[in-house]
Structure 1
Amino acid sequence: MNEPVQEIKQLKEPTKKPTILAILTTDDPNGDFRGNRHNFADLIRTGQSMGFLVYVLTAGNLLFRRKMLRGYVYHTESKKWQKQLMPFPDIIYNRIPHREDEMQPFVRQKIQACRKHTRVMLFNPSFFNKWDLFEWLRRSRTTQPYIPTTRRLMSVSSLGRLIRKHPYLYLKPVSGKAGKGIMTVRLHGGKSLPYRLKIQENRSSSTYNCSTLEKLWARIQKESGGEAYIAQQGIPLASYNERRFDLRALVQKNRRGLWELTGLGARMAGASSITTHVPRGGKIEDPEKLLTYSFGAEQAHKLLQKTSSAVLLIAKQIERASRQRLGEMSMDLGVDDNGNIWFFEANSKPMKFDEPHIRQKSLERIFHYGSYLARKKKKKAGGV
C-alpha cells in the first residue's frame, strides 16, 4: 500500500515561482528613493502575504537588459530599508509621487519603454491632467451627465461669458493636487464690488472683492502665477450642519481585470475652507450618515447605489479614452441639493484612504489585479 504514496510524492510539483511586482518611484538626491514609505512598506507586506515578491524600484535602476536590478526591500523585523539585487519584475506599479518627477525626460522615456516592452506589464503610467479628464468624459453619453460645465481659463472675455452663465465658479490648476491653488468666484449682481474671489490657503481662505471683471482677472493672474487653469461651474453641494461635503471613491481592478468599487468615503469642508481636502482642514466622515442627514434614509441608500454605478462608468470611460492600462483611481464626487451626482476629479495616484476597511482592501486589490496581469502576460508569452 505504501508504493503508490511514494510515487505521488515523487510527482509533487516544484514550488511555484512568485510573481514579481516592482513599485516604481524616482531617485532621491540623497542616494535613496522618493515616495510614501509607509505605503510602500504596507504594499510589500501585503504582497508577500499573498505570494508575491515585492520591492521598490527607481527609474534610474530600471535597466531593461539586466536580469537583476538594484531595488529596495523593507525588513519588518528591523523596520529598515535595504538595497539589494532583485529579479527583473513581471509587473510595475507606478507610484512616482510628483508630477514634476514624472515629467523628467529620462523618466518619461523609461515609462514609454515599459509600455512597449514584452518583459513587463506597467499600470497607471502617468498622472491625469484635469482638462483631459473632462474632455474624455464629455465624449461618452453615459458619463456626460456627471460633468459640470468646464472651460479652459484663457482670457478675461472667456471668464466673463462663463460667469454670466454660472455666477458661481471654481478655478482649478490643471495639474493641481490635494486642493492646492483652488479659487472660487461669485458674482453678486447690483453691488459696487460684485466679484468675490476666494483663495484657498493652507487651512483657511482669503477673500478679495473686485469692482470690475478686469480687476478680478488681474488678481486671478497674480494668484495663478501663469499656471494653466480650468474654470468650472460651481455646484451647490449638500451639507451637514452647514458644512459642505463631498464623496471620495476608490475604484480598482479585481482578479478578473474588471473595475470594482473598493470603498466610498466622505469629506466635510473645514469651517473656513473652500475645499473638503483633509490637509486643508477637511474632516473624514461616514457617507451614509451625511447623506441620510441631507436626504433621509431611503434616498441616501439610492444615492449610494447611484454613486457606485456612476464611478464604474466613469472609470471605464477614462481608461478607454486615455488608452492607458489602469488598475486604480480615486475620484471626488459631489451630490447637490437636488440629489444629482457630479464628477469633480480623478487621481491615478490615489492617496491612501484613512478608513481602515477601505485601506486593507485597497492593498489587497493591487495584488488581485497583479495576479490578473501575470496570467495575461503568461498567455502572451505562450504559457498556460
Structure 2
Amino acid sequence: MRTPLPLSIIKNETGKIYIPANFELKTTIKTVCFGTSSIECEAVQIDKQEIKVSEDIFDSLHIPYVSKTQLFVHEDTLFVGPLVGIFTAGFSESTIRPIGERTLFFAKLLAAEKAVGAYVFVFGAKHIDWEKGTINGLFHHVNGWETIEVPFPNVIYDRLPNRKTERHKALQRVKHRLHNEYLIPWFNYGFFNKWEVHQQLEGDHRVSSYLPETHKNPSFTLIEQMLTKYQHVYLKPANGSLGLGIYQVLYDREKEDYFCRYRDENNQNRLQRFPSVEALINTHFRKRRLEDYIVQQGIHLIRVDHKTVDFRVHTNKDENGKWQVSVLAGKISGRGSVTTHLNNGGVVRTLDEIFPDTDEHNKITSSLESVALLLSEVIDSRQKGHIGEIGFDIGIDKHGKVWLFEANSKPGRSIFSHPKLRKFDKLSSQLPLQYAIYLTEATIKAPEEIFK
C-alpha cells in the first residue's frame, strides 16, 4: 500500500511546491493539479517525506484542508490527491444527518480517507456548479459535516441508494456528463440485473457449474416441471435487492399440494397452501408481473440447528486493481423465513461460530474465497464500466457443492453489525478508496485503457 504524505501550507512564498527527493522527475515540473483544477508551479525537491505548497497554490486549487495525501508524477505535471467524489441521492436539510439514515455509513466511509491518503466527499446533483466547474461537497471531520467548494473529482464512486433513484433521468444526465464530457472515471456505475449476470456467467465454463438452473419469465408449466425436479424453487424479481419480493414455492408429492413461503406487507413471514401453481400465481401476482421475475432451482443447503445457512462474501479491488476478499460471514435463516436476510429474521454468524472444527472451517473458507474471487474476475470482465466491489450470496449444499445465488454491485452492510466482523467494516471502507487511488493513477498515466 502506498504511504500517504503530510501536506502543509507555506505562507511566505508563491507559486512553489516542495516534494520528496525520491520522486524521479524526468523533466521540469510546470503544473500541479488537484482534481480537475490546475495551476502553473515551480517544484523543489527536499529530503523530507512531505508535501509543502505555497498558499496561493493551495487556494487556487481549492484544496479543502491540510491532510495526508498522495502525490503522482506524470511528465511535467504533479497530481495531488486524489480527490474522490461519492455520488448519491436522498439528501436532507439536517446538518447533523445530511444524508438521512445513511449518514453514518458515509461518515464511516469518509473516515478512511487519512489512512489511504485521499480527499473524499459526498455529493449529489444539486451540489454541482457547472458554470464554475466546482462542487459544494460534503466532508466529514471530528466536529461533524462541513460543506466545502472543491473542483470536480479525479474519480467518482457511485453509491446511489436504489434502482428507482438510479433510473431518474436527471441523475443519469449528471452521470453521463461527468463521465463523457469531463472524462471522470466512475466505478460501481449501476445495479446488477440478476438475469443478465446469470447469462454472462452461464457462458463461461469456469463458473457455469456454480449456477442453479434459472429461467426468466417462467410459465406455469415450467414452474411445475422444476418443482417436480427439485421439490422447491424460488421466484425472484430480476431487478430486486434486499430479499424483497422473493417467494419460495414447495411441492408436496404425497398430498400434491403447493406451498408458498413469503414475507407479507407487514414484514411477517407467511406460509400458504394452494391446490395448484396457477392458483398460487393468480393470488400473488395480481399486482406483479411474472415476466419481471426469474425462477431458480431450490438447493438443499447445509443446516445449523435445523435452519438453513448461506454465506455473504464481499470482494473488493485494492490499490493494485486486484480482487481480494474483504469479509466472509454466514447467515442463518429466521424461523419460517424465505431468505437469510436480517430483515427477514436472519442471524449473522462468523465461520468460526458455524464451523468450530478447524479443518472444516479452513476447507469451507478456502472454497468460498476461491469461488468468490473467480466469480469477481469473470463478472468484472463481462460487465461494462469499472467495478470496485461485489457482494455475493453463496450456498453450500448437503454434498459440499458450492452454489451462487446472487451477485450485488452495491452490497448491503448489515453483516457488519456482528461484533466480530466490525474490524472488516473498516477494511471494506478503505478498499474502495484504495481502488479510487488506483483508478486515478491509471487515468493519469494511461487514460486510453480506462476509457476504452
TM exceeding 0.5: yes
The CA distance in 2 between the partners of 1:75 and 1:141, in whole Å, is 48
User: Which residue, out of 353, 356, 367, partners 2:422?
Assistant: 356
Sequence identity percentage: 25
Question: 1:125-274 alignment to 2 at 5 Å?
Answer: 125-191=189-255, 194-201=257-264, 204-222=268-286, 224=288, 228-274=292-338
> Secondary structure at the residue paired with 2:285?
helix
Describe the shift of the 1:381–1:285 C-alpha distance in structure 2 as closer, same or farther (beyond 3 A): closer
Q: What is the deviation of 1:95?
A: 0.5
Q: What is the CA deviation profile of residues 48-72 of structure 1, one whole-angstrom value per residue up to 9, with x for unaligned ones?
A: 3432111111034345664321221
Describe the shift of the 1:336–1:19 C-alpha distance in structure 2 as closer, same or farther (beyond 3 A): same
2:217–2:291 Cα contact (<8 Å) kept: no
- The answer on 1:305 being equivalent to 2:395 is no
Residue 72 of structure 1: aligned partner: 138
Structure 1 gap ranges (5+): 1-7
- The answer on 1:314 being equivalent to 2:375 is yes
The CA distance in 2 between the partners of 1:365 and 1:66, in whole Å, is 31
Residue 5 of structure 1: aligned partner: none
User: Which residue, out of 97, 105, 108, partners 2:161?
Assistant: 97
Residue 328 of structure 1: aligned partner: 389
Which has a greater percent of strand? 2
The CA distance in 1 between the partners of 2:174 and 2:199, in whole Å, is 27
Amino acid at match of 2:345: G
| Moved >6 Å (runs of 4+) | none
- The answer on 1:374 being equivalent to 2:440 is yes
The CA distance in 1 between the partners of 2:349 and 2:116, in whole Å, is 31
Residue 37 of structure 2: aligned partner: none
1:181–1:224 Cα contact (<8 Å) kept: no
Q: What is the deviation of 1:10?
A: 6.5
- The answer on 1:44 being equivalent to 2:110 is yes
> Secondary structure at the residue paired with 1:73?
strand
1:204–1:281 Cα contact (<8 Å) kept: no
Amino acid at match of 1:170: Y
Q: What is the CA deviation profile of residues 252-294 of structure 1, one whole-angstrom value per residue up to 9, with x for unaligned ones?
A: 00111011111211111112212111121111101243245xx
> Secondary structure at the residue paired with 1:222?
coil
The CA distance in 2 between the partners of 1:333 and 1:117, in whole Å, is 39
Q: What is the deviation of 1:363?
A: 1.2
Describe the shift of the 1:306–1:94 C-alpha distance in structure 2 as closer, same or farther (beyond 3 A): same
1:153–1:159 Cα contact (<8 Å) kept: no
1:26–1:60 Cα contact (<8 Å) kept: no
Q: What is the CA deviation profile of residues 148-195 of structure 1, one whole-angstrom value per residue up to 9, with x for unaligned ones?
A: 00111332223223223222101111222211111111111231x511
Amino acid at match of 2:399: N
Q: What is the deviation of 1:97?
A: 0.6
Describe the shift of the 1:207–1:222 C-alpha distance in structure 2 as closer, same or farther (beyond 3 A): farther
Q: What is the deviation of 1:249?
A: 0.5
Q: What is the deviation of 1:109?
A: 2.5
The CA distance in 2 between the partners of 1:10 and 1:377, in whole Å, is 25
Which has a greater percent of helix? 1
Question: 1:85-124 alignment to 2 at 5 Å?
Answer: 85-117=149-181, 119-124=183-188
The CA distance in 2 between the partners of 1:22 and 1:133, in whole Å, is 27
> Secondary structure at the residue paired with 2:254?
coil
Q: What is the CA deviation profile of residues 226-259 of structure 1, one whole-angstrom value per residue up to 9, with x for unaligned ones?
A: 6711111011111111111111101000111011
Q: What is the CA deviation profile of residues 92-139 of structure 1, one whole-angstrom value per residue up to 9, with x for unaligned ones?
A: 000011110001112122223344355412100001111112111111
Amino acid at match of 1:266: G
| Bigger radius of gyration | 2
Describe the shift of the 1:66–1:125 C-alpha distance in structure 2 as closer, same or farther (beyond 3 A): farther
The CA distance in 2 between the partners of 1:115 and 1:235, in whole Å, is 41
Structure 2 gap ranges (5+): 1-20, 22-42, 54-70, 72-79
Q: What is the CA deviation profile of residues 288-340 of structure 1, one whole-angstrom value per residue up to 9, with x for unaligned ones?
A: 43245xxx542432221111110011111111111221000111100111111
Describe the shift of the 1:199–1:223 C-alpha distance in structure 2 as closer, same or farther (beyond 3 A): farther
The CA distance in 2 between the partners of 1:14 and 1:368, in whole Å, is 23
* Comparing 317-326 and 223-232, the one that deviates more: 223-232
Q: What is the deviation of 1:76?
A: 1.9
Q: What is the deviation of 1:203?
A: 5.5
The CA distance in 2 between the partners of 1:183 and 1:251, in whole Å, is 27
Q: What is the CA deviation profile of residues 57-90 of structure 1, one whole-angstrom value per residue up to 9, with x for unaligned ones?
A: 103434566432122122322x3x3333122100
RMSD across aligned C-alpha pairs, in angstroms? 2.4
Amino acid at match of 2:436: G
> Secondary structure at the residue paired with 1:126?
coil
Residue 21 of structure 1: aligned partner: 84
2:251–2:257 Cα contact (<8 Å) kept: yes
Describe the shift of the 1:313–1:10 C-alpha distance in structure 2 as closer, same or farther (beyond 3 A): closer
Amino acid at match of 2:112: T
Describe the shift of the 1:57–1:230 C-alpha distance in structure 2 as closer, same or farther (beyond 3 A): same
> Secondary structure at the residue paired with 1:190?
coil
Describe the shift of the 1:233–1:320 C-alpha distance in structure 2 as closer, same or farther (beyond 3 A): same
1:288–1:304 Cα contact (<8 Å) kept: no
Residue 4 of structure 1: aligned partner: none
